[in-house]
Amino acid sequence: MPIQQPLEHLDATALQDLIDRYYAGENVAVLLQKFNVACCPRDLWRHFPPSEAGRDCPVCSEPLVVPRLSRTGTRGKITLPARCTTCLHVETLHCACSACSAARRVADQAKELKVREAIANFCANRWSYTPLKITPDQMSAEAAIALLSLVRCGGWLNDSSVGAIRNSVIPFAPQGADFPRQLLDVLLEYGLVAPQPNSPAGTFVATGEDQGWEMESAHWELLFPDPPDFIRQLECLAASSSWPEAWLADCHLVWKKLAAAECWEFCKYSVQQRDLPMPGATALSALIENLLQDYSVSQCYQLIWASAADATDYRARKRITAQHAANYLIGACQRRADRSRAEDWPIKGFKRNFELGRTQVSHVLHDVFLTHGEAGFFSSQKT
Ligand SMILES: [Zn+2]
Ligand SMILES: [Zn+2]
């Protein structure tokens, strides 16, 4: 049996009359009786046909309609968007009809294409993707160490590219004094590697007109012949006794930079443990350089840790600001180092900090190239 529509007995004029009187605020129970309508009074408006919007659907050209609201809703000046009963288009920004969804997909694709083009232009203007003609012994040791560390951290994606250093279990390099960026810059300047334009989302970020990029999340194109074989040759060369002439001195230079970055990172850890800010960068760099002339990284850790404690005590005694205390750390550490040199104090040194494990660059430099392992941490370069 078809469902009885409560208003179907009314002709168009009577129906319009009922609608007008309902919205004019007349008593609904009286209207139901007068028009002989059988329905729950509060549901009467739900049986009204939608009103005409007075314009056609932009998708299928059928007339648009506006759904009814109860008169309470209408008093709140709420209006529902016009819609099409044929193709289901709704006049809102987020219409989910098939035509609007398809148009949005096309717009999104065009936007994505524009972003990809901007990234491709940025990369093409900045780096050359032309493969080099180079053999492992033509690189500096610094480039060789950086390259091997990058490949080991990133992992092979295929025969000519490696993944992001961000995903490596072993960090690429200590986060001190911009050391990781300097190492990757060596590779970029050589033209040995270049970030892939199709690196994961978030690698290339546009800020206004400018395009920036994140080294940590980039995938890397390797721009030398037969990369897997090249890396094998490089590992063999590093393990051999026939190093290029400059490599030993070069390795000691990287050792120094790595040691300084490890001290910097440990200083950051020490001040964080004591709720102090970092001391000034110039003073800290000078201090670390001075310490490393005589002490191993392990001994520097001990000197820095003790000086952070001195700074905290001094702060408590003198009621100075945290920044002042952080700067005091530099002087305190220098005095400690000077006295221990003058009076020949033994400094036993610290083990590696649990939270600051060895980095890939440390493994590559000290295990693969210099083959003395953690001696790189426990002994000073003077000895
Ligand atoms: Zn339509
Ligand atoms: Zn639509």
pLDDT tens-digit readout, 5-14: 888 899 999 9
Q: Looking at the structure, tell me whether residues 298 and 332 fall in a common domain.
A: yes
Task: Give the chain's length.
Answer: 383
**pTM given for the model:** 0.78
Expressed as residue numbers, the domain containing 197 is: 127-239
Q: Looking at the structure, tell me whether residues 340 and 360 fall in a common domain.
A: yes
Cα–ligand 1 centroid distance for 45 (angstroms) = 24
Amino acid 256: pLDDT: 95
Residue 90 lies in a domain: no
Q: Residue 255 pLDDT > 90, yes or no?
A: yes
Cα–ligand 2 centroid distance for 80 (angstroms) = 15
Q: Looking at the structure, tell me whether residues 196 and 276 fall in a common domain.
A: no
Cα–ligand 2 centroid distance for 65 (angstroms) = 14
Q: Evaluate whether 332 touches 267 at the Cβ level (below 8 Å).
A: no
> Going by C-beta distance under 8 Å and a sequence separation of 6 or more, which residues neighbour residue 228?
156, 159
- When divided into structural domains, the chain yields a total of 2
Cα–ligand 2 centroid distance for 102 (angstroms) = 9
Average the pLDDT over each of 23-27, 267-271, 345-349 and give the range with the smallest value: 345-349
Cα–ligand 2 centroid distance for 79 (angstroms) = 18
Beta bridge partners of 211: 206
Residue 84 lies in a domain: no
CA distance 286 to 267: 13
Which is more confident, 211 or 128? 128
Nearest ligand for residue 58 CA: 1
In the chain, % of residues over pLDDT 70: 96
Q: Residue 209 pLDDT > 80, yes or no?
A: no
Residue 164 lies in a domain: yes
Q: Looking at the structure, tell me whether residues 131 and 226 fall in a common domain.
A: yes
Q: Evaluate whether 142 touches 196 at the Cβ level (below 8 Å).
A: no
**Which residues sit with Cβ closer than 5 angstroms to ligand 1, an ion?**
57, 59-60, 84, 86-87, 89
Beta bridge partners of 83: 65, 90
CA distance 281 to 279: 6
Stretch 231-252: mean pLDDT: 94
Tens-digit pLDDT profile for residues 132-179? 999 999 999 999 999 999 999 999 999 999 999 999 999 999 987 789
Which of 34, 8, 5 lies closest to 22 in space, CA to CA?
34
Stretch 202-224: mean pLDDT: 88
CA distance 383 to 65: 89
Q: Evaluate whether 313 touches 306 at the Cβ level (below 8 Å).
A: no
Q: Looking at the structure, tell me whether residues 212 and 264 fall in a common domain.
A: no
Amino acid 377: pLDDT: 84
Cα–ligand 1 centroid distance for 9 (angstroms) = 29
Q: Looking at the structure, tell me whether residues 263 and 352 fall in a common domain.
A: yes
Cα–ligand 1 centroid distance for 80 (angstroms) = 16
Cα–ligand 1 centroid distance for 101 (angstroms) = 13
Cα–ligand 1 centroid distance for 51 (angstroms) = 16
Q: How many CB atoms lie within 10 A of CB 353?
A: 14
Residue 161 lies in a domain: yes
Nearest ligand for residue 61 CA: 1
Tens-digit pLDDT profile for residues 44-91? 999 999 989 999 999 999 999 998 888 877 665 677 899 999 999 999
Give me the residue label for tokens 């709420």: 78
Cα–ligand 2 centroid distance for 135 (angstroms) = 60
Q: Looking at the structure, tell me whether residues 255 and 368 fall in a common domain.
A: yes
Amino acid 352: pLDDT: 83
CA angle 18, 20, 23 (to 5 degrees): 105
Residue 136 lies in a domain: yes
Nearest ligand for residue 95 CA: 2
Q: Which of 221, 239, 257 is the last residue of a domain?
A: 239
Cα–ligand 2 centroid distance for 93 (angstroms) = 9
pLDDT band, residue 211 (cuts 50/70/90): confident
Q: Which of 209, 239, 269 is the last residue of a domain?
A: 239
Residue 105 lies in a domain: no
Cα–ligand 1 centroid distance for 86 (angstroms) = 5
Amino acid 77: pLDDT: 62
Q: Residue 225 pLDDT > 80, yes or no?
A: yes
Cα–ligand 1 centroid distance for 56 (angstroms) = 8
Cα–ligand 2 centroid distance for 32 (angstroms) = 37
Q: Residue 336 pLDDT > 80, yes or no?
A: yes
45-53 contacts: CB < 8 A, separation 24 or more? Answer: 45/69, 45/70, 45/71, 47/5, 47/6, 47/7, 48/7, 48/15, 48/19, 48/22, 49/15, 50/85, 53/82
CATH of the domain at 137: 1.10.10
Cα–ligand 1 centroid distance for 109 (angstroms) = 24
Using CA atoms, how far residue 6 sits from 21, 31, 40, in Å, is 17, 13, 10
Beta bridge partners of 220: 162, 195
Amino acid 379: pLDDT: 85
R_g of the chain, CA atoms, integer Å: 36
pLDDT band, residue 243 (cuts 50/70/90): very high
Q: Looking at the structure, tell me whether residues 374 and 252 fall in a common domain.
A: yes
Q: What is the DSSP letter of 46?
A: G
Stretch 358-370: mean pLDDT: 95
Nearest ligand for residue 64 CA: 1
Cα–ligand 1 centroid distance for 72 (angstroms) = 29
Amino acid 180: pLDDT: 93
